[in-house]
């Protein structure tokens, strides 16, 4: 479970979508949200946009792996697609905030790898929010104020990445994924491979 969090506008979505484009073994967890859809967003690609009532029904039925209120809206991770992907041996990428990350830690800390993405400067963060131009000035301001609350949570993450340059950040994120997959405990077939290797060696060793 690869979790990537950041304040809004740090470039996380661009970064994670770029990773997904090249990593065929990674599924993106599509969250449900009560936030209105932005014009550029597609239902079931970016989010499943649902009513507050439907959100509460999912949450109360235990169908959300984690959930949180962010910027005045509700967001949550549907449990079933994540469990299915993990059971198929796939990795799952989560674009969720620190509150959701802590809830995943509580469930399966050893299965979670978390990355916190920071903007290079405060001006750049504001610039990206304004350039996105899909949110009202009021929403932009609220997201900037929220960044002040969110950034101190960098301490709760395994990795921290300052997003100066998309290409460089992508290389680093890929490096995290590669190294974490190489961890002995995550290499599911390695024991069988080593047994075979040793058996072959015993046969040919003088
Ligand atoms: P946005 O409205 O800009 O798409 O997302 C706002 C924030 O909500 C982002 O920090 C994003 O990572 C977070 N978020 C999106 N989906 C989820 C979710 O399912 N759970 C949690 N905890 N946070 C989410």
According to the model, what pLDDT value does residue 72 have? 87
Question: 21-73, pLDDT tens digit by residue?
Answer: 999 999 999 999 999 998 989 999 999 999 999 999 999 999 999 999 988 89
- For residue 2, pLDDT beyond 80: yes
| Ligand 1 centre distance from Cα of residue 196 (Å) | 45
Computed over every residue of the chain, the mean pLDDT equals 95
According to the model, what pLDDT value does residue 134 have? 73
pTM score:
0.93
Strand partners, 69: 74
- For residue 133, pLDDT beyond 80: no
Task: Identify which of 49, 81, 96 to mutate to test ligand 1's pocket (most ligand atoms within 8 A of the CB).
Answer: 96
According to the model, what pLDDT value does residue 135 have? 72
Q: What percent of the chain has pLDDT over 70?
A: 100
Span 106-113, average pLDDT: 95
| Ligand 1 centre distance from Cα of residue 25 (Å) | 23
Taken in order of first residue, the domains within the chain and their CATH numbers are 2-204 (3.40.50.300)
> DSSP characters for the chain?
-EEEE--TTSSHHHHHHHHHHH-TTEEEPPPEE-SPPPTT--BTTTBEE--HHHHHHHHHTT-EEEEEEETTEEEEEEHHHHHHHHHTT-EEEEE--HHHHHHHHHHHGGG-EEEEEE-S-HHHHHHHHHHH--S-HHHHHHHHHHHHHHGGGGGGSSEEEE-S-HHHHHHHHHHHHHHHHHSGGG-TTHHHHHHHHHHHHHHH--
Q: Is 76 in the pocket of ligand 1 (CB under 6 A)?
A: yes
- pLDDT band at residue 8 under the 50/70/90 scheme: confident
Closest CA to ligand 1's atom 21:
96
Distance CA 190, CA 119 (A): 38
- For residue 101, pLDDT beyond 90: yes
Span 77-102, average pLDDT: 96
Q: Which residue has the higher pLDDT, 140 or 150?
A: 150
According to the model, what pLDDT value does residue 139 have? 84
Span 117-136, average pLDDT: 88
Closest CA to ligand 1's atom 11:
96
Task: Identify which of 75, 104, 143, 150 to mutate to test ligand 1's pocket (most ligand atoms within 8 A of the CB).
Answer: 75
According to the model, what pLDDT value does residue 137 have? 86
- For residue 9, pLDDT beyond 90: no
According to the model, what pLDDT value does residue 143 have? 87
According to the model, what pLDDT value does residue 200 have? 98
Q: Is 10 in the pocket of ligand 1 (CB under 6 A)?
A: no
């Amino acid at each position: 479970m690869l979790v990537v969090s950041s304040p809004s506008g740090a470039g996380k979505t661009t970064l994670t979508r770029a990773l997904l484009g090249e990593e065929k073994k990674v599924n993106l967890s599509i969250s449900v949200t009560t936030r209105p859809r932005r014009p550029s967003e597609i239902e079931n690609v970016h989010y499943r946009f649902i009513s507050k009532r439907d959100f509460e029904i999912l949450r109360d039925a235990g169908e959300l792996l984690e959930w949180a209120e962010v910027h005045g809206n509700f967001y949550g991770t549907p449990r079933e697609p994540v469990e299915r992907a993990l059971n198929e041996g796939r990795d799952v990428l989560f674009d969720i905030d620190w509150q959701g990350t802590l809830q995943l830690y509580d469930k399966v800390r050893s299965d979670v790898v978390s990355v916190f993405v920071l903007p290079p400067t405060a001006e750049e963060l504001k610039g990206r929010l304004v350039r996105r131009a899909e949110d009202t000035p009021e929403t932009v301001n609220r997201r900037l104020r929220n960044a002040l609350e969110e950034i101190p949570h960098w301490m709760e993450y395994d990795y921290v990445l300052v997003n100066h340059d998309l290409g460089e950040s992508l290389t680093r994120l890929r490096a995290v994924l590669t190294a974490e997959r190489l961890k002995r405990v995550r290499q599911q077939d390695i024991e069988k491979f080593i047994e075979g290797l040793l058996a072959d060696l015993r046969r040919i060793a003088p």
